[in-house]
Structure 1
Amino acid sequence: MIDQQVRDNNIVWQPSEQRVSESNIKKFSEQVGIPAVPYDRLYSWSIAKPGEFWSAVWDFAGIIGEKGEIAFVPAEGGGMLGAKWFPEASLNLAENVLRGDASRVAVYIANEQGVQRTVKMAELRSLVAKAQTGLRKLGVTQGDRVAGVVTNGLESLVSLLATSSLGAVWSSCSPDFGAKGIIDRIGQVQPKVIIASLDYQYNGKQFNIRENIMAVCEELKSLSAVVSLSEIPELDMETSTQLLTWSELLSHNVDVPTFTRVPFHHPLYILYTSGTTGLPKCIVHSVGGVLLQHVKEHQLHCDVKQGNVLSWYTSTAWMMYPWLISGLASEAAILLYDGSPIQKERIGILWEIAEEIGITHFGISPKYLDTLEKHGYEVGKKHDLYALQVVMSSGAPLISEQYDWIYKTIKKDVLLESISGGTEIIGCFVMGTPIHPVYRGENTCKALGMAVDILDEQGASVIGKKGELVCTQSFPSMPLTFWGEGGDERYFNSYFAKREGIWTHGDLAEQTSRDSLIIYGRTDTVLNPGGVRIGTAEIYRVVEQIPQIIDSIVFGYPIENDEEIVLCVVTENDDVDKELAEQIRRNVRKKASPRHVPRRIYVVKEVPYTNNGKKVEGAVRSIARGHEVKNKASLANPECLREYATLAERSYV
């Protein structure tokens, strides 16, 4: 249980009166006539009156389109499935994203060499108009799928917006996926057109994926065209698929795009889960749900305003990619960065860019911050972060010590938001706001309009105890379905089979008496020694503070109707002696509990990650138990699993 008195002394940032008074959430509260402070009043209203709340978000954000008279129709018989949002509405994502003054900066383009160019809104609109015409000539119409195997560059953004402007559906993955990884994803949705980065650079190395794209094309029966972002495609395809370059797609004398407005629930994106236990799930998201959820999160929670500069280090395979792009709908500029976030000679490349272009909202992962800390990189001393207002982190729980490091090393007066949600909702269940204090180690609050709770194994709401994170009411960015045969049934089984009428998200979490939350990890990787539920993040937050530990992964190994905790660590000298092992166990015992202490400690050369940068405890657990990992194509470094297959034969400390 949380020691509340200790936590009350752990405020690491407090908003000034000016910050609160000038915040978007304060202005929103005045618009709806409900005070923003205390937050629980505004939050409770957003849950009690969902139609009024989301309609007010539409108005506050100035969504372009027809809203209609009805905002929310509850599901027959109650529950979350079957509810309807804005059934009379029509809108278009690209129309909302391409808004604002033509002369304003819309996009900064950067790579491992730094900022390469600035794109104003007039140019972006012109590029989208040309690409839209090109896609239309290739036969793309409303409801068709266009897939990108692309890096995070200008062409990817233009392709996405041109696709959505036509009422078509966009889906993407990054080019570092192998042929099987690409086929496992976009092969399921059968796109009409593929846009591909045949050549790309990462961490100073050049990569050529022509063979992968040719293999993908041979598998796709629906494909009519491939658009290459390389001017010399050199694709030897045996199919009748048309091949053209990017410049050929854009070779049309048109500068003003048109917009096909579609119903609120019309498909916009197909996103993919990591898929380490089977084929990735193809999650279909709606135009209205995506746009409304994102403007709420950007404007009310992250305080994104006109003229701000929003960045998030992401690939095109992660949900933070469309989340970033939606920042344009708040008339902020966005940074598109293509490359490695940390290079040997330029560890702080992202901060160099932040200083140069005046980034106000900087999004990243805990792993990135941990790497900077272990390099001893003092961000605030090396860079003038005059514009920086908000640091956001997602992808894994942010540990308490990282809160301290951020405020000590990056900037003292910055709002830190550790946010948590998922691909499944293309948004967040828990976030922060500019009106809350920040407590170290905690996710600040439940997001407006999201009826979040923590339930124990008996289904009772609990405070100060670990339980499962759930959502008990419908929200606009719930998926439409999973793409493919039996999609509705697979969707139901993934989130609603465990508790009738309640979304069970799969996170082990705890809520405090002030309604902040602490995320401990995924419930499918929860450790259970002696019947006590332990989240993997509870161990990582201790182990990875030890200087000799570069990385780690933990899982449970079955033994005599119980399980013991196994910890694998990457160290500086590829060794764990008895002294280091004792330090690990001593720290875990002291800072977590005796139950958390690992029984076995192994040294490994590498920790497996998904292509989106998430540790895969489940894959390690499976292979260590002698089971097959079904979909290694989802992993960025699948070859490292070999050493985990032989752990049982090795000695441990």
Structure 2
Amino acid sequence: MNTSITAQRSPYLWEPSSERIEQSHIKAFAESTGQPLFPYERFHRWSVSHLAEFWSAVWDYAGIIGEKGDRFFIPGPSMPDSTWFPEARLNFAENLLRGSLDRTVAYEANETGVHQSITLKELRESVAKAQEGLKQLGVQKGDCVAGVTTNDIQGLVALLATTSLGATWTSCSPDFGTKGIVDRIGQVKPKVLFAATSYQYKQKPFDIVDKIKQTTEHLDGLSALVTFGDETSIEGLQSLSWDELCNNEASEPTFEPVPFNHPLYILYTSGTTGLPKAIVHSVGGTLLQHVKEHQLHCDVQQNDVLFWYTNTAWMMYPWLVSGLASEAAILLYDGSPVRQDSLTHLWDIADEVGITHFGTSPKYLDTLMKAGVDLKNSHSLNTLKSLLSCGAPLAPEQYNWIYQTIKQDLFLASISGGTEIIGCFVMGSPVHPLKQGEIACKALGMAVDVLDERGASVYEEKGDLVCTKPFPSMPLTFLGEGGEERYRKSYFSKRPGIWTHGDLAEQTIDQSFIIYGRADTTLNPGGVRIGTAEIYGVVDHIKEIKDSVVFGLPKDNDEEIILCIVTEKLTEELAKEIRLQIRAKASPRHVPKRIYQVEEIPHTINGKRVEGAAKTAALGEEVKNEASLRNPSSLQAFRQLSERKFV
């Protein structure tokens, strides 16, 4: 009899070594709380059933500078009415400008490469000078300061100087149109505007002096303009250059202590209905959420180098900036992620500065994958410990490709949350083994669940991603008229007392997660809910397809799936191949009824494809807030879709 046993293949793509687990922040944190780390599900249940104890422990473990007070959490009659750390006093900038003075805290790079770095001593001095300049402009606690800034060290200094005074920061990317900028920061009535007068993208320079002048005409209450570069004179407005602002003797910043729930950031959703929602986030909630995510879930250690490819309009910009609070260095990159002569430009920089945590999007990784890039053979990536991804679900095929072509011993984490919470609901962790296509776990302190239409918790079944208990980084409010009502209606109207986030998700019996995209763009052919991400997960990996968008259109009391693609030529053969692959890799229900070729797909300025705008245009209805789109002219093809040939 043959007694040999065939070794079973591991279901995991990556498993952390015992050494990595032992040296992780999350292990040390668990020990500091007196709770066992494993099983993780138990540790997570403790974190959400003892909210005051858990978040107080995060404060202590991260060494938050400030007065914590004796009360940490006061439950309210509903989630948004709860109170966090009512006696606490702290300053955000003080918590970021910490640690050894001689260490490098930021690198600055663009399409030409790395061209500047700064130590903590130099950064503190720069913040002190900018802070003094802002004081002379009359900025004080409670004011709002705005930036139309590139992702560089000057922009970082402006942000830190603002928050050091207890003022609130909000920013836009300089590639927004005038209307897009005004629709956002016009809502907050900033006292001072920091503005770049030029930027570059795809090695092409853009002069935006006229755009900045037009913007200032629409900002009520603006008292001063500070420009990076030459001074831009505007009649009736105090205007000065960055050098003039910082021309003083200050060398050490002071820090204005503020309450835990004092406004820190105003961020904006990029939806396509009405004005973007202006979401107000707190000092304490943002800081606690970010140090928890960085240290416990991403294992960002002291002197690591954290990078996320982002512009200053996206939530991942403040998320990156907060890396300083964990005494890591951050890489600030401005420009296109790829150059005409180099798809691997960002990885050249990663090797040069020693990036440990590389943050990006599935779209960027797909570009490399389609081009056959093999980083294992071209780059050392010796320091790289972690690859992080968000903005859209990471496709199962991308998991395999990453381990085959980037690095085998790599902590890969797809993370998912939102601008509304300036953080994440589900994340990776350095102690979880990783399965293809899955997000490892619920974030600590976040009472995440997946509910069906009855409100019952479900496993191995698609449902609504929800959070059932309060957390510190919930918005303070939405700015503007009726803001509080709009905030509550957005997240609590479907299920009173429960945050319904708007994502279609599934939790596995192992309590890992799969995100299928936004619930409001969920397809419903034949009454079966289908996530658009399941279709993109196939289509995005077909080489002939450069970009795509999928949505549903009504047909005989049902819905048909419509797929629009950017390709050289849509042939019967290509359409057949698309349908065959979707049928095989997703299901027959996912197969699009009609496939159209279009010139381009509508994207937000932050790079997200906008299914809602494409569908609305195809229905012949008005797409509100086209200023949220990077390429509003793309909608014309969708308005004419019924006249176009499909296969």
TM-score (norm 1): 0.97
Following superposition, the deviation at residue 379 of structure 1 comes to 1.7
Alignment of 1:213-362 (within 5 A): 213-233=212-232, 235=233, 237-238=234-235, 240-362=236-358
1:18 matched residue in structure 2: 19
Please say if residues 185 and 280 of structure 1, whose CA atoms lie closer than 8 Å, have aligned partners that are also in contact: yes
Please say if residues 481 and 487 of structure 1, whose CA atoms lie closer than 8 Å, have aligned partners that are also in contact: yes
Where do 5+ consecutive residues of structure 1 fail to align?
A: 1-6
For residues 384 and 231 of structure 1, the distance between their equivalents in structure 2, rounded to whole angstroms, comes to 40
1:549 partnered with 2:545? yes
Match of 1:599 among 593, 601, 605: 593
Please say if residues 187 and 480 of structure 2, whose CA atoms lie closer than 8 Å, have aligned partners that are also in contact: yes
1:562 partnered with 2:558? yes
Instruction: Give the residue type in structure 1 aligned to 2:35.
Output: I
Task: Give the 3-state SS of the residue equivalent to 1:219 in structure 2.
Answer: coil
1:608 matched residue in structure 2: 602
For residues 375 and 626 of structure 2, the distance between their equivalents in structure 1, rounded to whole angstroms, comes to 36
1:193 partnered with 2:192? yes
1:426 partnered with 2:422? yes
How many residues are matched? 640
Please say if residues 370 and 541 of structure 2, whose CA atoms lie closer than 8 Å, have aligned partners that are also in contact: no
1:584 partnered with 2:585? no
Please say if residues 525 and 559 of structure 2, whose CA atoms lie closer than 8 Å, have aligned partners that are also in contact: yes
Instruction: Give the residue type in structure 2 aligned to 1:304.
Output: V
2:74 matched residue in structure 1: 73
Runs of 4+ aligned residues of structure 1 deviating over 6 Å after TM superposition are none
1:367 partnered with 2:368? no
TM-score (norm 2): 0.98
Alignment of 1:448-463 (within 5 A): 448-463=444-459
2:150 matched residue in structure 1: 151
Instruction: Give the residue type in structure 2 aligned to 1:560.
Output: D
For residues 252 and 144 of structure 2, the distance between their equivalents in structure 1, rounded to whole angstroms, comes to 23
1:475 partnered with 2:451? no
For residues 439 and 612 of structure 2, the distance between their equivalents in structure 1, rounded to whole angstroms, comes to 25
Following superposition, the deviation at residue 8 of structure 1 comes to 9.5
Task: Give the 3-state SS of the residue equivalent to 2:79 in structure 1.
Answer: coil
For residues 92 and 393 of structure 1, the distance between their equivalents in structure 2, rounded to whole angstroms, comes to 30
For residues 145 and 208 of structure 1, the distance between their equivalents in structure 2, rounded to whole angstroms, comes to 26
Instruction: Give the residue type in structure 2 aligned to 1:213.
Output: I
Task: Give the 3-state SS of the residue equivalent to 1:195 in structure 2.
Answer: strand
For residues 173 and 220 of structure 1, the distance between their equivalents in structure 2, rounded to whole angstroms, comes to 14
For residues 9 and 451 of structure 1, the distance between their equivalents in structure 2, rounded to whole angstroms, comes to 30
Following superposition, the deviation at residue 221 of structure 1 comes to 2.1
1:87 matched residue in structure 2: 86
For residues 620 and 593 of structure 2, the distance between their equivalents in structure 1, rounded to whole angstroms, comes to 19
1:642 partnered with 2:623? no
Instruction: Give the residue type in structure 1 aligned to 2:587.
Output: S
For residues 598 and 109 of structure 1, the distance between their equivalents in structure 2, rounded to whole angstroms, comes to 44
Instruction: Give the residue type in structure 2 aligned to 1:454.
Output: V
Please say if residues 34 and 41 of structure 1, whose CA atoms lie closer than 8 Å, have aligned partners that are also in contact: no
Following superposition, the deviation at residue 278 of structure 1 comes to 1.5
Task: Give the 3-state SS of the residue equivalent to 2:264 in structure 1.
Answer: strand
For residues 609 and 407 of structure 1, the distance between their equivalents in structure 2, rounded to whole angstroms, comes to 29
Following superposition, the deviation at residue 9 of structure 1 comes to 5.2
Task: Give the 3-state SS of the residue equivalent to 1:570 in structure 2.
Answer: strand
Q: Deviations over 1:65-115 (max 9, x none)?
A: 000011111113xx3121110000000110000000110110001111111
Following superposition, the deviation at residue 246 of structure 1 comes to 0.4
Q: Deviations over 1:287-318 (max 9, x none)?
A: 00000000000000000010100000000000
For residues 157 and 251 of structure 2, the distance between their equivalents in structure 1, rounded to whole angstroms, comes to 13
For residues 347 and 277 of structure 1, the distance between their equivalents in structure 2, rounded to whole angstroms, comes to 35
For residues 63 and 96 of structure 2, the distance between their equivalents in structure 1, rounded to whole angstroms, comes to 12
Query: Alignment RMSD, CA only?
Result: 1.1
1:136 partnered with 2:135? yes
For residues 262 and 189 of structure 1, the distance between their equivalents in structure 2, rounded to whole angstroms, comes to 20
Task: Give the 3-state SS of the residue equivalent to 1:188 in structure 2.
Answer: coil
For residues 570 and 34 of structure 1, the distance between their equivalents in structure 2, rounded to whole angstroms, comes to 52
For residues 345 and 547 of structure 1, the distance between their equivalents in structure 2, rounded to whole angstroms, comes to 20
For residues 502 and 481 of structure 1, the distance between their equivalents in structure 2, rounded to whole angstroms, comes to 16
1:3 matched residue in structure 2: none
Following superposition, the deviation at residue 470 of structure 1 comes to 0.4
1:106 partnered with 2:105? yes
Alignment of 1:393-432 (within 5 A): 393-432=389-428
Q: Deviations over 1:422-469 (max 9, x none)?
A: 000000000011100011100110000000000001111100000000
Give % identity. 62
For residues 578 and 391 of structure 2, the distance between their equivalents in structure 1, rounded to whole angstroms, comes to 25
For residues 214 and 107 of structure 1, the distance between their equivalents in structure 2, rounded to whole angstroms, comes to 31
2:183 matched residue in structure 1: 184
Following superposition, the deviation at residue 261 of structure 1 comes to 0.6
Please say if residues 305 and 330 of structure 1, whose CA atoms lie closer than 8 Å, have aligned partners that are also in contact: yes
For residues 518 and 133 of structure 2, the distance between their equivalents in structure 1, rounded to whole angstroms, comes to 43
Q: Deviations over 1:573-623 (max 9, x none)?
A: 2x1111111111111111111111000001112111111111100000000
Instruction: Give the residue type in structure 2 aligned to 1:137.
Output: Q
Task: Give the 3-state SS of the residue equivalent to 1:194 in structure 2.
Answer: strand
